[in-house]
Chain A
Amino acid sequence: MHDDIKDSLLKKSRATRSEQRGRIISLTCTAIIVLIVISIFYFVASKGLATFFSNKVNVWDFLSKSIWNPGSTDSHGSPQAGALPMIIGSFGVTLLSAIIATPFAIATAIFMTEISPNKGYKILQPVTELLVGIPSVVYGFIGLSVVVPFVRHTFGGTGFGILAGTFVLFVMILPTVTSMSVDALRAVPRYYREASLALGATRWQTIYKVVLRSATPGLATAVIFGMSRAFGEALAVQMVIGNAVLLPHNLISPASTLTSVLTMGMGNTVMGSAANNALWSLALLLLLMSLVFNLLINKIAKRGRI
């Protein structure tokens, strides 16, 4: 006996089946992404930790000493892998460029959202998008041929150093910070502004006391995003910072960053050697730092929600 209704009730419908299929596909994709992330972490960590376990470099020495010559050994027989100059260089350019970029970015964002939402937005939006799209080698090249001579003539020295790196990174992170600040300011509810204006506040008072205050978590996220971009930038910085593994005396003496030493050294070392492992340790440090930046962003976002 054939019962159509019973069949259709007991069998999976077409919609169910396509949903199942969709779920399998998205689960597989997620699993693959997770697997890739885990294996990257594992790979970098296994290589990077080898410096400390098989090459016997003291972790504290790695973080606090300033002689970087992992190809040769010191008096104790362990490779000279002191990463302090790079750590200082990386944090130096990151913090300085964020400090310079933040006022510009927030001012631009206020102009685009509060002061001139139509005209300002129409002009500035494409400009920031364009800045994002410029490849970093172009920034580096402009830095090398414009910023470095400018720094040399104005401040002395060779022109290569943290200051030149800061200028280049400032332009590079400006669009990121700006567009995220715009989003943060837009997320402030309209009735906040209306209430503030109704209480008799001027436009400036509204922006300063209401809009900026309530958008603070979003703005902080924007700045940290910019910082994590600055921290990870390799090529453009490498072209203007001078790549000298020395503790910087001042902002115009040649310095180096974690990324610049990493990219320069990789091709000249042999996989598995102490010099190569030391470079992986730098990579591990970079990875951990980007993790820290992400955690910070998460934390701020959570606090903003409450």
Chain B
Amino acid sequence: MLKKRILMLLGLFILVGTLTACQSGSNNGRSITAVGSSALQPLVEAVGENYASAHSGNFINVQGGGTGTGLSQIQEGAVDIGNSDLYAEQKKGINAKKLVDHKVAVVGITPVINKQLAIKNLTKKQLIGIFTGDITNWQQVGGPDRTIVVINRAQGSGTRSTFERWALNGQSSLQAQEQDSTGMVRQIVASTPGAISYMAFAYVDKTIKTVNVDNIQPTNKNVETNRWPIWSYEHMYTRGQPKGLTKDFIDYMMSDSVQEKVVGKLGYIPMSQMKTTRTLNDELHITK
């Protein structure tokens, strides 16, 4: 009886041992982990899957967690790639000197409002007024008599930082409702009368509507020429120059076929289409 039990226990250990051994054994290919920005996550996941199916034996693990997580994890060397909506220099607590930046795509961000509001255009001044709390009723900007409901992304979110930097001229938005994902923002803007928020172009659908700012439409074309200034790069950071699979994967990400076919399809703007570049210090260069 006792012997039987001991045997069973031993068997269990052996089983667990072989299982784990199997995992590391069959992994004769390579695997890397990319963590961070949820705005960039869908793109990295899609490209990662394509890469893995084209190069069998290689695995790209992609996780969300937010820009802060991505940058702090890559700084600690816990992951191979840290995804970020922001320049590492712009995030407090990150030593950007150790990190190498790979800009893989551009994301345009647009203000969005509830569909019932008959507003097509807001001036930048009005937009700033709304998000800093000076304008509280849609009547003040030519809309119906309705209280403005501002919905923010969480503090420190890349989308929010970009929006505050480029749409609000660096002013921070008032304390208001906050949501930690774009999906939730979209649902709440769609269902709450008088709501206004902001999100990446890729997330805009028929349940909400976008607003022009200073009569400029939020389109990819306008982002490419910087007529629509509310956009940001999507960064993939590595610790030091990338090596091995990390390098191969980033090269694949930057390759023309991926940039042209996958990036645009998922609602991002390929780097190659940008006619301007923006440096860390917000200097603008026209390249094409």
Contacts and interface: CB of A to CB of B under 8 A. Distances in A.
Contact of B177 (A242, A263, A265): A242
A209 B172 CA distance: 60
A161 to B, nearest CB: 10
Interface residues of A, number: 36
B91 A243 contact: no
Given A144-B187, A242-B177, A158 B156 contact: no
Interface string A267-292: 11111111110000000000000000
Contacts of A276: 68, 93
Contacts of B172: 69
Interface string B155-198: 11100000000000000100111111000100110011001000
Main secondary structure of the interface of A (DSSP, over half): mixed
Contact of A158 (B69, B149, B178, B180): B149
Interface in B137-165: 149, 154-157
B72 interface: yes
B110 interface: no
A158 B192 contact: yes
Given A159-B192, A243-B178, A264-B180, A270 B149 contact: no
Contact of A254 (B93, B176, B191): B176
A268 B155 contact: yes
A152 B192 CA distance: 9
Contacts of A256: 178
A268 B177 contact: no
Contacts of B187: 144
Task: Identify which of A152, A238, A242, A256 gathers the most chain B CB atoms within 10 Å of its CB.
Answer: A242
Contact of A268 (B68, B76, B149, B184): B68
Contact of B175 (A238, A244, A263): A244
Interface stretch (B59-67, B199-207, B244-252, B262-270): B59-67
Main secondary structure of the interface of B (DSSP, over half): mixed
A135 interface: no
B93 A246 contact: no
Given A71-B92, A158-B192, A268 B67 contact: yes
A269 B175 contact: no
A69 B68 contact: no
A18 B5 CA distance: 12
A120 interface: no
Contact of A270 (B71, B155, B177): B71
Contacts of A244: 175-178
B156 to A, nearest CB: 3
B178 A268 contact: no
Query: 8 nearest interchain CB pairs?
Result: A267-B66, A268-B156, A273-B93, A270-B93, A264-B180, A243-B178, A264-B154, A270-B72
Interface of B: 2, 38, 64-69, 71-72, 75-76, 91-94, 149, 154-157, 172, 175-180, 184, 187-188, 191-192, 195
24 contacts: A14-B2, A69-B155, A69-B172, A145-B191, A158-B195, A159-B192, A242-B177, A243-B180, A245-B178, A256-B178, A264-B178, A265-B154, A267-B180, A268-B66, A268-B68, A268-B69, A268-B155, A268-B157, A270-B71, A270-B92, A270-B93, A271-B93, A273-B93, A276-B93
